[in-house]
A and B are shown apart, each in its own frame.
Chain A
Amino acid sequence: MSGRGLALLVSLCACGPAALPPPKVLSISPAEMVACEGSTVSVSVDAVLPTHLDYGQSEASANPELFLRIGPVPVGAGEYSPGGVLTASVPPVLAPGVYDVGLRLSDGRPEGILPSAFTVRPNPYPDSYSLDFVQDQTRRIPFAITIRSVGPNESAYNCTVSLSSNRGSISPAVSGAFQRGVRTETVTIDMANPSVIITVRDDLGRSGSTNPFRVNP
């Protein structure tokens, strides 16, 4: 056998990669969502799972665990789906911006990243907020307040606002998501006071306040 033929044979047998390829994120659909709304996305990946071929036992196995993220937020079920199309719910926690989509397998291979693949669009903010009249309340007894966005985009606002009180502390400190510009939140004041005012404020600093009301001991 000539040296050239031998070299060809060696290359045929030994010149493949020694390690498995890192995973790749091929696409994400849809590729954007509105802040505070959340979304369900399909992520197409090219990934060879950590596979073990045991010829002695005539057995094959593969570890389907994986870690999928959008920006800093983990998404998905944490397992590979045959065919490489992963479905994931994106929680409404991402601020407006552009995010990478990353995929990491359980065997420590380098993360596959599809850069700037997912966009979170900002929610249309209202001009201000109005709160319905609040009766006198009792300390540490929950009561409901209704917050309404005011302005041209009042019915499109679906984000949250922060809550504060001028006397004592209020719980929770952040409201739940608005529904078409309206949010009814159950709150608690921990201190008795004859004149308490609750103030709400969004990310842009636009705010609204309740009427003064008494919190009895």
Chain B
Amino acid sequence: MRRSWPAIFLLFAWRIAFAEAPQVSIQPSSVVLGSTASVAVTVRLPKANLPLRSACNTGTLIGTDNPSELERHFTWTPPDIRFPMTALLVFWVVEERSAQPEPSLVRIPLSGRTTLEMSTEPGAQVRVEVAKASFGPRRADRRGRVEIPIEVPPGALSAQVVAEAHGRVTMRETPLDIPHNSMLAMGFSHDPIVRGEPAWLIVAHPALDPQMLDVQLIGGHLAIERTGAGSAVFRISPEDTARELMAKASFQGVSLERAQATARITSPGESAISAQPRNHFFASAMAGGFYAGGSNSGAAVAVDGSYELPVAASRLALELEVGIRSASFSGAVEGLGSVHSSVTALAIELALRALAFERGAWVVHGRLGGGALPFRVSAQSDFQPPFTQSGFAPEAFASAQVGYRLRTLELFAELRGGIAPAKTSTLDAQLGGFLLALGARYRIR
């Protein structure tokens, strides 16, 4: 089903709960396309650990890390274009299901670079003024040709060319051929949207005129609830049979100002499942080797279960690791013969994992831990009967894991330094040292 919103304001007389707007800051505050790689965005939440949602009209917005319970970091990457426009980033928090979202907008002017090629009198001094900025001067060649690189901010439609030759000054206005790009940004307050529960559509534009705004919602009904500086909030209600909502926004008579957003629809039962907090349990497996000098080297494998602690913005986790390490050694015994021995240990360890760095898909974790390694040493020789001995080796370790996330899976490499002296009346070995392993970590659904 397709419904058009006819720009009628339905004002609710009863008390409406509003969510607080997050505070947004960006660095740098403007972008020169082609020279600025990205913009760092910091969002400060009104309350700790509130779910934060966002939308943007262009470019790519990626959450990077959560430095605290009240702060979220994003990186916004400009689009691969060269003409000026204004990027619009919209953030809002989902404080509670019944609270109307209060969006925060941030505009990023994107300036484009181009080179103006002009013809004037030979030898003339030429400069170009664009939006109060001056470029040049440059002298025209003998044929009167001159090229001047300029930066064009969004909104500038023409350039003023000033040429001076033989004491005469001529001024000429040159139109800038700048393609138009939509500055509409739009998003649903929740995704998925739970049927029967309040939900909203947020539409933002730097120069939003509610009278001109045309919003279509496929799969549901909408009604405007509020307009603010550059944004409008619509209450939406999905139709009974719809499984997805699609919203399309445009300005009447301005075909280039367009935005689109989609959201899934779930039933309350499904929502109970999907609305559950994300699972805090992880499982991982890794394999590698260790080296601690001499014959203290061999294979190491481990499996690991971890629980993400609901503190410090979920940056800490407790882990239980179970692994196997082995080393072997052959040598001669003076006057008697030769001996071959091997040590096999079961590593049972507890560790505290901390998220140290997060940027895009890359993460770095640090781990501190310790445990016990029950081990068994066996020896076979050509001069005496074989024998075995067992013991426990204590272990303490610190490690760094560099990981790359692929959805719920994280591939990682770990470098660990540890001490684990394994001693008996016959054995003097070290099962710690440096351990290098590759593995995968999976968030259990």
Chain A residues close to B by CB (< 8 Å): 1, 6, 9-10, 12-21, 46-62, 64, 80, 82-84, 107
Contact = CB atoms under 8 A, between A and B. Distances in A.
Contacts of B341: 53, 60
Given A56-B296, A107-B425, A13 B390 contact: yes
A58 B295 contact: yes
B430 A14 contact: no
A60 B339 contact: yes
B376 A14 contact: yes
Interface in B320-349: 322, 324, 327, 329, 331-337, 339, 341, 343-346, 348
Contacts of B385: 46-48, 84
B377 to A, nearest CB: 7
Given A14-B375, A14-B376, A82-B382, A55 B389 contact: no
Decide if the interface of chain A is mainly helix, strand, loop or mixed.
loop
A13 B335 contact: no
Nearest to B324: A9
Given A6-B348, A55-B343, A60-B329, 14 more contacts: A14-B375, A18-B390, A20-B387, A20-B426, A47-B384, A50-B425, A53-B427, A55-B294, A56-B429, A58-B295, A61-B333, A61-B334, A80-B383, A82-B384
A64 B343 contact: no
Nearest to B387: A48
A24 to B, nearest CB: 10
A54 B430 CA distance: 10
11 contacts: A10-B346, A14-B375, A16-B388, A20-B387, A53-B329, A53-B427, A58-B294, A58-B295, A62-B383, A62-B384, A64-B336
A53 B345 CA distance: 16
Interface residues of B, number: 47
Contact of B426 (A47, A52, A64, A84): A52
A55 B427 contact: yes
Decide if the interface of chain B is mainly helix, strand, loop or mixed.
strand
A54 B327 CA distance: 12
Interface in B97-112: none
Nearest to B426: A51
A17 B336 CA distance: 24
Given A19-B389, A60-B331, A14 B428 contact: no
Given A53-B377, A55-B329, A18 B339 contact: no
A46, A60, A107 — most chain B CB neighbours (10 Å): A60
A190 to B, nearest CB: 51
A29 B167 CA distance: 131
Contacts of B392: 14
A141 to B, nearest CB: 51
Contact of B430 (A13, A49, A56): A56
Contacts of A6: 322, 348
B226 to A, nearest CB: 55
B289 interface: no
Contacts of B25: none
Given A52-B426, A53-B427, A55-B294, A82 B346 contact: no
A59 B295 CA distance: 9
A131 to B, nearest CB: 53
B426 A13 contact: no
A80 B385 CA distance: 13
A1 B296 contact: no
A84 B329 CA distance: 24
B423 to A, nearest CB: 10
B346 A14 contact: yes
Contacts of A1: 303, 322
Given A13-B390, A16-B390, A55 B339 contact: no
Contacts of A59: 331
B303 A20 contact: no
A1, A19, A52, A56 — most chain B CB neighbours (10 Å): A56
Contacts of B391: 14, 18
A12 B334 contact: no
A53 B429 contact: yes
B424 interface: yes
Contacts of B329: 53, 55, 58, 60
A82 B379 contact: no
A56 B428 contact: yes
Contacts of A49: 336, 384
Contacts of B377: 53
